[in-house]
């Protein structure tokens, strides 16, 4: 497993070591001990989530607030997504900045998103299966969101905004300035 820093503090790309031969491939998707040794971050996860979406679906920007904040380890199991993390920690040097990365079933990359970040993704392939490991349990009352096309963030979702398929919640999310985080 290789860990690469992103421009956002405490947000990491995880690249597994993949062993391939004529039978297929094998790789260790996550190792808590190695992750903690390489990053100094807690890598204990308590909940796994999977979503399946079609082209143009945009999920985000989402977060859990307060004592229910979640760090996430995300990956794309099938298809291709553009994954985005936004630093919402007001005391951070990278507050209000975002980072995006293409996660695919082929590249097998994962993104570690620490607590205090917003997260979202857009589907770039016909379909995508997306996996989230979370270090805290989901709590509906602690949900937060930010409008995907907020002009202060200027996130490039890699799809035409007119093609974006959004939930009502995401369509009506508050702006970054409203600080719903």
Domains and CATH numbers, the chain: 2-178 (2.60.120.10)
Among 12, 62, 112, 119, the active-site one is 62
pLDDT of residue 44: 94
**Catalytic annotation present for 132:** yes
The residue ranges of the chain whose pLDDT is under 70 are: none
Q: Is residue 35 within 8 Å of 14, Cβ to Cβ? A: yes
CA dist 121 → 7, 17, 50 (Å):
18, 24, 13
Tokens of 166: 């959004």
Full-model pTM: 0.94
Helix (H, G, I), strand (E, B) or coil at 128: strand
pLDDT of residue 179: 86
- In angstroms, the CA 82 to CA 123 distance is 7
pLDDT of residue 11: 97
Query: Residue 23, Cα to own-chain centre: how many angstroms?
Result: 31
Query: From its phi and psi, is residue 149 left (phi > 0), alpha (psi between -120 and 50) or beta?
Result: alpha
- In angstroms, the CA 120 to CA 81 distance is 10
pLDDT of residue 125: 98
Q: Alpha-carbon torsion 128, 111, 74, 9, what sign? A: negative
pLDDT of residue 42: 87
Helix (H, G, I), strand (E, B) or coil at 37: helix
Q: How many CB atoms sit inside 10 A of residue 174's CB?
A: 14
**Catalytic annotation present for 62:** yes
pLDDT of residue 181: 82
């Amino acid at each position: 497993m290789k860990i690469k820093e992103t421009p956002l503090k405490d947000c990491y790309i995880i690249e597994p070591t993949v062993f391939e031969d004529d039978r297929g491939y094998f790789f260790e998707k996550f190792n808590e001990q190695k992750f903690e040794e390489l990053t100094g971050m807690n890598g204990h996860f308590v909940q796994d989530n999977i979503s399946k979406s079609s082209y143009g679906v945009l999920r985000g920007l989402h977060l859990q607030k307060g004592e229910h904040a979640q760090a996430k380890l995300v990956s794309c199991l099938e298809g291709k997504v553009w994954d985005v993390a936004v630093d919402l920690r007001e005391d951070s040097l990278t507050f209000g900045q975002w980072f995006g990365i293409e996660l695919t079933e082929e590249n097998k990359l994962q993104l570690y998103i620490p607590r205090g970040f917003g997260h979202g993704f857009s589907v770039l392939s016909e379909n995508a299966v997306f996996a989230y490991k979370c270090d805290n349990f989901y709590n509906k009352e602690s949900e937060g969101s930010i409008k995907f096309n907020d002009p202060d963030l200027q996130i490039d979702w890699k799809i035409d905004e007119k093609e974006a398929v959004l939930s009502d919640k995401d369509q009506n999310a508050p702006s970054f300035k409203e600080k719903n985080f």
